[in-house]
Copies of this chain bind each other. A is one copy, B any other.
Amino acid sequence: MIQGDLRVTVPIRWAMVGGGRGSQIGYSHRCAALRDNSFQLLAGAFDIDPERGRDFGEALRVAPERCYPDYRTLFAEEAKRPDGIQAVSIATPNGTHFAICKAALEAGLHVVCEKPLCFTVEEAETLRALARERRRLVGVTYGYAGHQLIRQARAMIAAGELGEIRMVHMQFAHGFHSEAVELANPSTRWRVDPKHVGPSYVLGDLATHPYYIAETLLPDRRIKRLLCSRQSFVESRAPLEDNAYVLMEYEGGVMGHLWASAVNAGSMHGQKVRVIGSKASLEWWDEHPNQLRYEVQGEPVRILERGMDYLSPEAREDDRIGAGHPEGLFEAWANLYGRFALAMEALDRDDTAAVEALGIPGIEAGVEGVRWVEHCVRSAEAGAVWVDYR
């Protein structure tokens, strides 16, 4: 139970790049970081318009002189202060992640970055090398990975409660972009512009979320080959896809399957993960996140509820409120940020084992996400053929 107690010794001095007024994602980062006092928001470059950024920062009670016009100034000026920031979160359009992330690491800062970290494996590896060299954290906000019931699922799978794993099915399939809404709505236009989002739309933007959840549930599984079929049902989006199917063959005979879509008309987010073993299956759905289906073959389906005593200690660790009270996206994010803070603290004392034990989406997850999208795109462009995974 974390209710209000500090998890870190001293709150981490923290800034944001992007995520200004009206940004949902910026708000999510702030709610998560500030929820339990693990971070203090002390500085920022919140907006490409410096005036607007300063105004917004002040509304958040950031000192005016620490509301900077851009990320370079932010990093440079804060570095000069004895009480300068230790960590920065990046919530800018995708195309800028690499440069800002690189600059932050070079400035010696811990980083929390929106996915995707960057557009190519080469860039990702550059960031990884830099992070290792500087011993800094690069946390990637696969938010639902912080949900208590995902931790529960991981513990159950690790304990063998499903038997031998056979399949993992992933899905993130909403319908909000069934029409070309981007034509009328500039705030979604960048999502379908390769300049801003790289070589894919739903693969990078949606699919990487359940893909990372699958990674966290099956930490030792390696893909051997995959096949991706992608479509642009709204034709003006081509070459970017608004729908994709991916088949994956893992080592050990495990099969992976993923469906990502922005044109699943009438559906909310539809983020689901189902892991199927020789004895039982587990299924989790983001829209009703407080329930986890545990289906043992030959027994009645069981509905596990967040917060109950029968859950594993890993899952209970993040309890904020009694079972039966629904938690949602913001708590999942806050759990993640709480662990990011612990990881930063651990790295500051060079305790990489402690970081490993936290089970958070770090630089490896960031690199892997980019690599996976790259393979999917390669397969799709070759006509939806199998490509070896390396």
A residues with CB within 8 A of B? 1, 3-6, 11, 21-24, 26-28, 30-31, 34-35, 37, 56, 59-61, 162-163, 166-167, 174-176, 178-179, 227, 229, 231, 233, 243, 245, 247, 249, 253, 255, 257, 259, 263-270, 276-281, 286-290, 294-305, 308-310, 320-331, 383-386
When the two chains form their complex, are residues A325 and B328 in contact, meaning their CB atoms are under 8 A apart? yes
B257, B328, B386: the one contacting A331 at CB < 8 Å is B328
When the two chains form their complex, are residues A326 and B326 in contact, meaning their CB atoms are under 8 A apart? yes
Interface of chain A: mostly helix, strand, loop or mixed: loop
Query: Which residues of chain B are within 8 angstroms of A321 by Cβ–Cβ distance?
Result: 24, 27-28, 329-330
Nearest opposing residue in chain B for A234, CB measure: B278
Q: In the assembly, what is the distance between CA of A259 and CA of B178, in Å? A: 24
When the two chains form their complex, are residues A280 and B266 in contact, meaning their CB atoms are under 8 A apart? yes
When the two chains form their complex, are residues A266 and B297 in contact, meaning their CB atoms are under 8 A apart? yes
B34, B166, B386: the one contacting A384 at CB < 8 Å is B386
Q: In the assembly, what is the distance between CA of A300 and CA of B266, in Å? A: 8
| Shortest Cβ distance from residue A253 to the other chain B in the assembled complex, whole angstroms | 7
Q: In the assembly, what is the distance between CA of A385 and CA of B387, in Å? A: 12
Nearest opposing residue in chain B for A288, CB measure: B288
B27, B166, B327: the one contacting A3 at CB < 8 Å is B27
When the two chains form their complex, are residues B3 and A178 in contact, meaning their CB atoms are under 8 A apart? no
Q: In the assembly, what is the distance between CA of A182 and CA of B315, in Å? A: 25
Nearest opposing residue in chain B for A264, CB measure: B276
Given known pairs A3-B24, A384-B227, the reply for A266 and B295 (CB within 8 Å) is yes
B26, B175, B229, B301: the one contacting A266 at CB < 8 Å is B301
When the two chains form their complex, are residues A304 and B300 in contact, meaning their CB atoms are under 8 A apart? yes
Q: A27-B320, A384-B386 are in contact. List 15 more A-B contacts (CB 8 A).
A: A28-B321, A31-B320, A166-B243, A229-B249, A243-B255, A265-B296, A266-B294, A266-B295, A266-B299, A266-B301, A267-B295, A298-B309, A300-B310, A325-B328, A325-B329
Q: In the assembly, what is the distance between CA of A320 and CA of B23, in Å? A: 10
Query: Which residues of chain B are within 8 angstroms of A257 by Cβ–Cβ distance?
Result: 245, 259
When the two chains form their complex, are residues B280 and A265 in contact, meaning their CB atoms are under 8 A apart? yes
Query: Which residues of chain B are within 8 angstroms of A281 by Cβ–Cβ distance?
Result: 175, 264-267
Query: Which residues of chain B are within 8 angstroms of A26 by Cβ–Cβ distance?
Result: 3-4
Given known pairs A24-B321, A24-B322, A265-B162, the reply for A300 and B309 (CB within 8 Å) is no
| Shortest Cβ distance from residue A160 to the other chain B in the assembled complex, whole angstroms | 13
Q: In the assembly, what is the distance between CA of A302 and CA of B300, in Å? A: 6
When the two chains form their complex, are residues B278 and A179 in contact, meaning their CB atoms are under 8 A apart? yes
Q: In the assembly, what is the distance between CA of A279 and CA of B257, in Å? A: 26
Query: Which residues of chain B are within 8 angstroms of A179 by Cβ–Cβ distance?
Result: 278, 297
When the two chains form their complex, are residues A301 and B298 in contact, meaning their CB atoms are under 8 A apart? no
